[in-house]
């Protein structure tokens, strides 16, 4: 063998002997009903969120980041499946007495990562089905679970049910009634313990907080915020994020861990009268910010939420990105980061954002569909958004809907309907909306 061939063979053998790159750890921090403007780094004037602000400073902060739906259950469907909730078969909320849940044919991100050797844990609000047990987190890809099975208001006097709100560990209740004031702290303790116990192998931690969904409560940080009880709740979540990030630094896991912070929908500003029971107050529902709309509708305030992603060494710091992105995109993005192929037997609505997070390319997402349950109400393409919906519009019964067309770059508050000035564009986008509704079997508002 000549010298060149020998060197080539030696290099090839050395390359073959190198261990495969370690797959990254993944952490999702998922707030409940936290609005676009509830964090300091998104403009709140009095709530202080130094840990999440630092997380944004050390990574990327999206300013056009969308939850998959404007309320709880379908938003979680989109995050964990990478598919629009109507495609995944669960576009509506579940309750304490619901049977079944996210179809068992759906593959959650946890299942996909678990099959690749990840340790997985869910801590917090599940809300994807609990009856029968085959819909519990421990049957959907999570090795272990600690949390409440649905929203923290799904008990009397807020909801008519005889099913108690209970805190579960894996498949069994461990606390009733639930002490909600300490939930965030206890969830954080569980998260830190899970990270420490699994420091030597890849892990996926999914932490969907119970709050700031009403009824809000706090404990150790009670009375600390100038923004009152709601501010205390947000600042407690910020403390939680800080404890998790501190643990990663202490264990030397920073450079191999992607952490994403998101919310499931906008603030519950239009809450029903049933929620103003006990100590709840209208100002316990978050900051309106500049966005029109709120939880439950398809104006921007219903679905545009905080979206922060941090991964030192992989995601450059101090990025602020106005491109369209969504919780739908986390499934394919995580798969790309972990060098895992997407399952080939289904369509994914999410796109791989990894090059965008790395500052190498614009977001590949150029459009987004806004669903309310199984009704397709709006569509964004680039800077423009068309909306065709009666819900939350000042219309009398039977009065025809006037399409709305907004330029979200210069009018993010959706104040100026430009449909009449841009009918050709508006009609073209409405045609795309109707075509996708027909493809998915969605309803159109009328």
What residues have CB less than 8 Å from 332, skipping those under 6 apart? 82, 342, 348, 350, 351, 352, 353
How many residues are there in the chain?
446
Where in the chain are the domains?
25-361, 374-440
Task: Please tell me the distance from the alpha carbon of residue 334 to that of residue 102, in angstroms, as a whole number.
Answer: 21
Give every residue of the chain whose pLDDT is below 50, as ranges: 1-18
What residues have CB less than 8 Å from 345, skipping those under 6 apart? none
pLDDT at position 35: 96
Cis amide prior to 263 (ω within 30 degrees): no
Cis amide prior to 212 (ω within 30 degrees): yes
pLDDT at position 20: 52
Nearest CA to 102 among 116, 118, 89?
89
Task: Please tell me the distance from the alpha carbon of residue 332 to that of residue 152, in angstroms, as a whole number.
Answer: 30
What residues have CB less than 8 Å from 190, skipping those under 6 apart? 121, 123, 146
Q: What is the pTM of this model?
A: 0.94
Number of Cβ within 10 Å of residue 46's Cβ equals 11
Assigned CATH topology for domain 25-361: Alkaline Phosphatase, subunit A (3.40.720)
Burial class (CB within 10 angstroms; exposed 0-12, middle 13-18, buried 19+) of 293: buried
Cis amide prior to 108 (ω within 30 degrees): no
> Could you give the residue numbers annotated as active site?
72, 127
pLDDT at position 134: 98
Please answer whether residues 307 and 325 qualify as being in contact, where contact means their C-beta atoms are separated by less than 8 angstroms.
Answer: yes
pLDDT at position 414: 97
What is the domain class of 374-440 according to CATH? alpha beta
Distances in Å between the alpha carbon of 253 and those of 206, 250, 260, 358? Answer: 17, 8, 15, 19
Nearest CA to 216 among 436, 406, 34, 428?
34
pLDDT at position 270: 87
Torsion (CA) 382, 388, 389, 394 in degrees, nearest 10? 100
Nearest CA to 365 among 356, 374, 376, 377?
356
């Amino acid at each position: 063998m000549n010298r060149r061939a020998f060197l080539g063979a030696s290099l090839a053998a050395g390359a073959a002997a190198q261990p495969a790159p370690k797959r990254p750890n993944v952490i999702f921090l998922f707030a409940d009903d936290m609005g676009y403007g509830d964090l300091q780094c998104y403009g709140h004037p009095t709530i202080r969120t130094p840990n999440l602000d630092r997380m944004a400073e050390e990574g990327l902060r999206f300013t056009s980041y969308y939850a998959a739906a404007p309320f709880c259950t379908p938003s979680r469907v989109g995050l964990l499946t990478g598919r629009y909730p109507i495609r995944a078969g669960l576009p509506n909320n579940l309750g304490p007495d619901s049977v079944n849940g996210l179809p068992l044919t759906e593959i959650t991100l946890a299942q996909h990562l678990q099959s690749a050797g990840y340790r997985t844990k869910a801590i917090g609000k599940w809300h994807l089905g609990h009856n029968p047990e085959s819909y519990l987190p421990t049957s959907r890809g999570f090795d272990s679970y600690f949390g409440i099975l649905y929203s923290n208001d799904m008990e009397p006097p807020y909801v008519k049910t005889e099913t108690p709100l209970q805190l579960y560990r894996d498949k069994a209740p461990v606390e009733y009634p639930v002490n909600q004031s300490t939930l965030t702290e206890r969830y954080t303790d569980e998260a830190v313990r899970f990270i420490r116990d699994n420091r030597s192998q890849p892990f996926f931690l999914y932490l969907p907080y119970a709050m700031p969904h009403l009824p809000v409560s706090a404990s150790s940080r009670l009375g600390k915020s100038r923004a009152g009880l709601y501010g205390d709740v947000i600042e407690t979540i910020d403390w939680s994020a800080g404890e998790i990030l501190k643990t990663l630094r202490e264990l030397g896991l920073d450079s191999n861990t992607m952490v994403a912070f998101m919310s499931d929908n906008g603030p519950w500003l239009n809450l029903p009268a049933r929620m103003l029971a006990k100590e709840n107050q209208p100002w316990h529902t978050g900051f309106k910010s500049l966005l029109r709309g709120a939880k439950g509708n398809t104006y921007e305030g219903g679905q545009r939420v905080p979206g922060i992603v941090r991964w030192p060494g992989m995601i450059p710091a101090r990025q602020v990105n106005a491109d369209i992105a969504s919780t739908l995109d986390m499934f394919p993005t995580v798969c790309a980061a972990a060098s895992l192929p997407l399952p080939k037997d289904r369509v994914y609505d999410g796109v791989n954002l990894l090059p965008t997070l790395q500052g190498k390319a614009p977001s590949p997402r150029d459009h987004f569909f806004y669903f309310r349950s199984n009704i397709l109400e709006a569509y964004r393409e680039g800077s423009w958004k068309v909306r065709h919906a009666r819900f939350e519009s000042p219309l009398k019964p039977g009065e025809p809907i006037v399409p709305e067309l907004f330029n979200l770059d210069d009018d993010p508050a959706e104040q100026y309907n430009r449909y009449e000035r841009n009918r050709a564009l508006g009609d073209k986008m409405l045609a795309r909306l109707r075509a996708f509704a027909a493809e998915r079997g969605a309803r159109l508002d009328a």
